[in-house]
Amino acid sequence: MEREDPLEKLERREAEKKANGGLKTVMIIMIVVAVALAVALAYVMMSKNRLVSQLNDEKTDLTEQLIALQSDYADLTSEYDTINYQLDSSREEIAQLIERVRVTEATNRSKIRQYEKELGTLRSIMRGYIVQIDSLNTLNKQLTAEAASARRDAANSRRINEELTQQVESLTDKVTAGSILKARGLRMEAFNAGDRITDRSTRVVRLLVTLSLVENELATRGPVRVYVRVTDPSGNLLLDGKGTTFAFGEETLEATASREVDYQGSEVELGIYVNNIPDFTKGIYTVQAYTEQSLLGSAELMLR
């Protein structure tokens, strides 16, 4: 067997040592890199968990603030219909916002920030309501005090009493009536061919609806059209063939008849005839009177 040259053997061993040393170095580097990646991943996961926890806390805090604001709105009351309507709208908006927050993921930061802005807006609106209610209450107390003072001074003479009574009525109307037209004395009568009042259904040829638009200094002056809707005992709307319609709120309603008057703030009496009805039956007829802004009232007529 041929013996290995000692020099070659030495060189081979040196080469093997270098190869083993390089392999160990690579393994050490890979281990270090793996450890570093594990540490980095653990740091990222911890940071993510902390961020998610923070965002959940922010969502919870936002929800609690909204619930507290909802409670504040529930406790806020007013004696004024317009403000009460606005309060109801804001309460509904808060309830919807709470529900939107509930179903939104805490990680959706843009939505959460948007809801926080809406919360701030609702708080500002509430502060405005409080200022408005306080101002109206102060004005109401002031007007009430002025009315009481006017009543005391009215005892001095009839002339002063009449002037101050008008002032008291004017101040009271500004607080309670507003600018909406109101009516009184609404009634409906049936007439026969001889233009006499009758309650016999077989003799009726037309109906007459009468009412008075009451005095209102705050109401808009000018032409006002009053519409009447008359229904027969079966609930069917009577139509005179003219096809009169009018807008009321978000609806378009048919009218039995209508009439326009010139309203200048003082009381106006008017009558509206219902003609061109083929026949009348026994029972109760109902009339409702409207302007395009309000329902003025209703009345009934019994025919036999």
Is residue 209 located within the same domain as residue 107?
no
Highest mean pLDDT range out of 2-11, 36-45, 280-289?
280-289
Q: How far apart are CA 42 and CA 48, in angstroms?
A: 10
**Where in the sequence is the domain holding 275, given as residue range(s)?**
183-303
Is residue 129 located within the same domain as residue 187?
no
Q: What are phi and psi of 274, to 5 degrees?
A: -115, 105
**Closest listed residue to residue 287, CA positions, set 295, 279, 249:** 295
- Pairwise pLDDT comparison (22 vs 33), residue with the higher score: 33
Residues 51-84 have pLDDT tens digits of 566 778 888 888 888 888 888 888 877 777 888 8
Highest mean pLDDT range out of 49-63, 74-88, 114-128, 182-196?
182-196
Is residue 42 located within the same domain as residue 160?
yes
Is residue 114 located within the same domain as residue 195?
no
Tokens coding 81: 């219909």
Is residue 120 located within the same domain as residue 233?
no
Domains contained in the chain, number: 2
Is residue 244 located within the same domain as residue 171?
no
Percent pLDDT > 70 in the chain is: 83
Q: How far apart are CA 28 and CA 202, in angstroms?
A: 115
Q: How far apart are CA 70 and CA 62, in angstroms?
A: 12
Is residue 133 located within the same domain as residue 278?
no
